[in-house]
Each structure stands twice: as structure tokens, then as C-alpha cells.
């Protein structure tokens, strides 16, 4: 989740709805300036007994953040508390239960993305070794109850933790027990944004299937392959889901702004603190009638903050965020941006990918989204087929898109190698969660503690 900092820059008051829409238009960039931003989260655990360390304990999360400053990372404070780090490789931040996230810098190509990820993992592993903590690449804590997990000292999380049980049964699980990989991509126009949004939203269940990596809950199989994805189905229906309006004629910046205005608020950030506005309306805020701040109207930063509290499968800010994948190891952290860059950053690949899914009805798209967490590549798709029947085709379209980009590293290799992890999955037909279940029922003999030695970074 986003880490709020005081920018010190211009933060104009919002005088009209046009300013809300203009924020999306401000993200437009010509294709030659498109960047790739990759985010990934990982679980932090004690090497001694596998507990999730608190912020304050010796060798805990605060110590981890402070230890990473040796690599040039600068502390970001909320009050007097260090809650994030900033540096040339982006931002290191904390999820609610201490999951550690790298929100990478906007980069030109996937070679840079994977080098950035490699630097980050090398740094955290070195500091972790000194502190006695390890890092686990999964989509969900395999063995922890909510009650066993710490809460990080960030103001927005307190508000969200209070609000989540009012609107769904699994919001606290989303906050405390899950990890994801995301990629943020650019667009050049409103029409291109709409085309990218539709294509990536229709194919988001395929990404969920390919990256499914959360088959355990509290020490035993949970009956799902991506339980993380299932959790989103009952987190908060007002701010999650497949957004049917994206596929309607005329979809663009204004329609997304209308959607975001109807997403209930969480908070307003003022003078270094979070003010609880959970369940209140940004439309009332525009009229100066927000109960949490009567008589005050929003600033542009308030709108940016609010956009970060909507959690659909694909999200629009000044870029598009792909949000469907479980957390996983280094090669899949590289594979997710490769998958989406190949599909969305080449015109021919984008057309080909949309051709595969454009005939699906909204009901069929939703049915696929609902079945993928349990079935992954065996989920049914229109025409009496299964998702696996198009998985190889879509990955090959992505590979062709990366080939056409022709971004080479120092050895003359293009970016297609970063799809190798997905090529193996579509070749074998076995997603990561199924491999974990094979280990659990086989070599591990039901001993889930083995996951720490085999799935850690």
C-alpha cells in the first residue's frame, strides 16, 4: 500500500470535477517514454522459531529498516517513527503486519527491473542474516493466525483495521496475511489507457492462475490454489472487483473518476496525521461537507490518496496497476512485469491479446474470476474450454511483444528470458501452488515448516 510523505510541492485545492479527471490525463506519456514499475512484498520471519517479528522487538522490523540504511536508503517518518525508506531504487515500505515491500523505481526495461530486484534481495538478505530474520516468497502466510501477527505503527492501518470488519469477512486477512507482486505501466492517451485496461482486466484471472501460490492456511491445505485471490472476493465490495463499466462503450477517465468518487473514503491526511473518514463520501468532501473535516474542501493530494484506497483487479492512477498475482520468488518477480509489458507495450501483441478475450460476456469474465482461486488453469472459459487452453497462446503473444521491443542487455539478450518461469508452468500445466501441495503430501510428509527452507529468498 502507498506510503504517504510530505512532498513540500504544490498541492492545489480542488475547485472542480475537471481537476479529478485531469490527474489521469497528466499520466499520459509518448510510448518512447513508457516505464516499468514493479512492486513486490515478502513475509519477514525469525530464523529461530519462524514467528513474525514485531516492529519494536530486538532484531524486528524497525531494526531491519535501520539496517538497510547502510545501503544509502533514507528514512521516511510518520511523526517520530520510521515507517519506510526512500532511495534510487524506489521505496521500501511496510504492509500492515510487517510484510516488506519494494516499490521499485520507474525503469526503461526488464533487465533493469530484475537487476533492481536482485540488489534489493541481496541487501535485505544480508541485513536479515545479521538480525536473524528470513524472507518468504508466498501469496499468504502458510501457518499464521491473525492473532499471531503484529501490527505496524502506521496511522492509516489503524483506520483500515477498524473499518474492514464492517464491510467484509476477509479484509483483515488481506491486510495481515497476504503478499503480492504488481506492475505499474504507462499509457499515451485516454483511448490507449482504455484498451490496456480492458485487455489486462479480462486477462487478470490468467495472471492469478499462473502465479497462484497460496494453498495453505494455518498449517494445512485450504482447498484453494490462490487463497490470496479468494480473500479479495469478500474484502470490501465497494472497492474491489472486475469493474464491468470498463468494458462499456465510452469508458475513459471520467467514468473511472465517477467510480472512484463512489468508493467510500478511509482517511484524510493533515499535518502529519491520519484523520478517520472511513465510510464517508468524497463527493461530500468536494462540497465541503465531509463530517471528518466540516467546511474544508479536498486538495489534489487527497484525491491521489483516495485513489490508492480502491482495490480493483486493475487500478488507474497516473498509470495502470496490474494487481492479480500472488507473491513468489525472484524469477516470478521478474516474470510478472515481463508478462504484462509483452502484452501491453507492443501494439500487435495488445491487439492479439484482446482478440482472444474480446468476445467474452461480463458474466463469463466474472465466472472466470470467481473460479480461478480454486481451480487456476483448470477454470472453465467460454466455448467449453479451460483457462489452460489459452495460457500458452497468451504467454507466446507476450513473448512476441517482448521480441518486438528488442531491448537488449549487455550480452545481447532480449527480454523474453524473463518469461521462462511462465513457459515452464504452461508447459507442465502445474501452477506453483500445485507444486507446493505435491511437496506437502510427498517429501514434506505434512510438515509445513519445510516451506521456510524451500521457499525463502
The pLDDT score that the predictor gives to residue 375 is 98
Check residue 229 and give its pLDDT.
98
- Work out the average pLDDT over 225-229: 98
Average of per-residue pLDDT values in the chain: 97
Distances in Å between the Cα of 62 and the Cα atoms of 79, 93, 125, 131 are 14, 11, 15, 11
Mean pLDDT, residues 39-44 taken together: 98
Write down the pLDDT at residue 8: 53
The answer to whether the beta carbons of residues 449 and 132 sit under 8 Å apart is: no
Rounded Cα distance between 28 and 192, Å, is 10
Say if residue 5's pLDDT is above 90: no
For residue 2, pLDDT over 90 is answered with: no
Task: Check residue 348 and give its pLDDT.
Answer: 98
Between strands 81-87 and 133-136, the pairing is unpaired
| 175: nearest Cα among 203, 219, 144 | 144
Distance separating alpha carbons of residues 311 and 4, to the nearest angstrom: 17
Give the pLDDT band (50/70/90) at residue 308: very high
Model-level pTM? 0.97
**Pairing state between β 81-87 and 74-78:** antiparallel
Q: Which residues contact 126 (CB under 8 A, 6 or more apart)?
A: none
pLDDT on residue 9 = 67
Report the pLDDT value the prediction gives residue 121, as an integer from 0 to 100. Answer: 98
Q: Note whether 113 and 330 are within 8 A (CB).
A: no
How is residue 327 written as a grid cell?
A: 507473491
- pLDDT at position 10, please? 82
Given this model, what pLDDT does residue 1 score?
54
pLDDT value, residue 195: 98
Average pLDDT over residues 345-364: 98
Give mean pLDDT, residues 60-65: 98
pLDDT at 262 over 80: yes
Share of the chain above pLDDT 90, in %: 98
- Each residue's pLDDT tens digit, 134-189: 999 999 999 999 999 999 999 999 999 999 999 999 999 999 999 999 999 999 99
The CATH class of 17-263+310-455 is alpha beta
pLDDT of residue 283: 97
Set of cell numbers at residue 175: 491486510
The C-alpha cell at 358 is 474480446
Asked if pLDDT for residue 6 goes beyond 90, the answer is: no
CA-based nearest residue to 39, from 107, 97, 98, 96: 107
Amino acid at each position: 500500500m502507498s506510503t504517504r510523505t510530505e512532498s513540500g510541492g504544490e498541492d492545489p485545492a480542488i475547485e472542480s470535477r475537471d481537476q479529478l479527471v485531469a490527474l489521469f490525463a497528466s499520466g499520459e506519456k509518448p510510448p518512447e517514454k513508457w516505464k516499468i514499475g514493479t512492486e513486490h512484498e515478502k513475509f519477514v520471519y525469525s530464523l529461530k522459531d519462524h514467528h513474525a517479528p514485531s516492529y519494536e522487538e530486538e532484531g524486528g522490523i524497525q531494526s531491519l529498516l535501520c539496517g538497510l540504511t547502510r545501503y544509502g536508503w533514507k528514512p521516511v517518518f510518520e511523526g517520530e517513527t520510521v515507517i519506510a525508506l526512500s532511495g534510487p531504487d524506489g521505496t521500501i515500505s511496510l504492509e500492515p503486519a510487517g510484510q516488506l515491500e519494494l516499490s521499485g523505481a520507474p525503469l526503461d526495461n526488464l533487465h533493469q527491473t530484475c537487476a533492481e530486484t536482485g540488489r534489493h534481495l541481496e541487501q535485505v538478505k544480508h541485513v536479515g542474516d545479521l538480525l536473524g530474520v528470513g524472507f518468504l516468497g508466498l501469496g499468504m502466510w502458510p501457518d499464521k493466525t491473525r492473532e499471531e501477527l503484529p501490527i505496524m505503527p502506521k496511522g492509516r492501518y489503524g483506520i483500515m483495521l477498524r473499518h474492514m470488519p464492517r464491510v467484509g469477512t476477509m479484509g483483515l486477512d488481506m491486510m495481515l496475511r497476504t503478499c503480492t507482486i504488481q506492475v505499474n505501466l504507462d499509457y499515451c492517451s485516454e483511448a490507449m489507457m482504455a484498451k490496456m485496461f480492458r485487455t489486462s482486466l479480462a486477462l487478470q484471472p490468467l495472471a492469478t492462475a499462473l502465479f497462484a501460490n497460496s494453498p495453505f492456511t494455518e498449517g494445512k491445505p485450504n482447498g484453494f490454489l490462490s487463497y490470496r485471490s479468494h480473500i479479495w472476493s469478500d474484502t470490501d465490495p465497494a472497492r474491489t472487483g472486475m469493474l464491468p463499466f470498463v468494458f462499456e462503450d465510452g469508458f475513459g477517465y471520467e467514468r473511472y473518476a465517477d467510480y472512484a468518487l463512489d468508493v467510500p473514503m478511509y482517511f484524510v491526511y493533515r499535518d502529519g496525521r491520519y484523520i478517520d473518514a472511513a465510510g464517508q463520501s468524497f463527493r461530500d468532501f468536494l462540497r465541503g461537507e465531509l463530517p471528518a473535516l466540516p467546511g474544508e474542501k479536498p486538495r489534489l493530494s487527497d484525491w491521489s490518496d483516495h485513489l490508492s484506497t480502491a482495490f480493483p483487479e486493475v487500478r488507474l492512477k497516473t498509470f495502470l496497476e496490474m494487481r492479480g498475482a500472488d507473491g513468489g520468488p525472484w524469477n516470478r518477480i521478474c516474470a510478472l512485469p515481463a508478462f504484462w509489458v509483452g502484452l501491453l507495450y507492443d501494439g500487435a501483441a495488445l491487439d492479439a491479446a484482446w482478440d482472444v478475450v474480446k468476445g467474452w460476456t461480463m458474466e463469463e469474465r466474472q465466472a472466470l474470476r470467481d473460479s480461478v482461486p480454486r481451480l487456476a488453469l483448470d477454470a472453465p472459459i467460454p466455448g467449453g474450454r479451460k483457462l489452460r487452453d489459452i495460457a500458452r497462446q497468451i504467454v507466446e503473444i507476450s513473448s512476441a511483444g517482448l521480441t518486438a521491443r528488442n531491448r537488449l542487455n549487455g550480452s545481447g539478450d532480449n527480454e523474453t528470458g524473463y518469461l521462462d518461469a511462465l513457459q515452464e508452468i504452461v508447459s507442465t500445466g502445474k501452477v506453483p501452488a500445485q507444486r507446493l501441495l505435491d511437496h506437502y503430501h510427498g517429501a514434506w510428509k505434512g510438515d509445513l515448516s519445510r516451506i521456510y527452507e524451500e521457499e525463502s529468498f
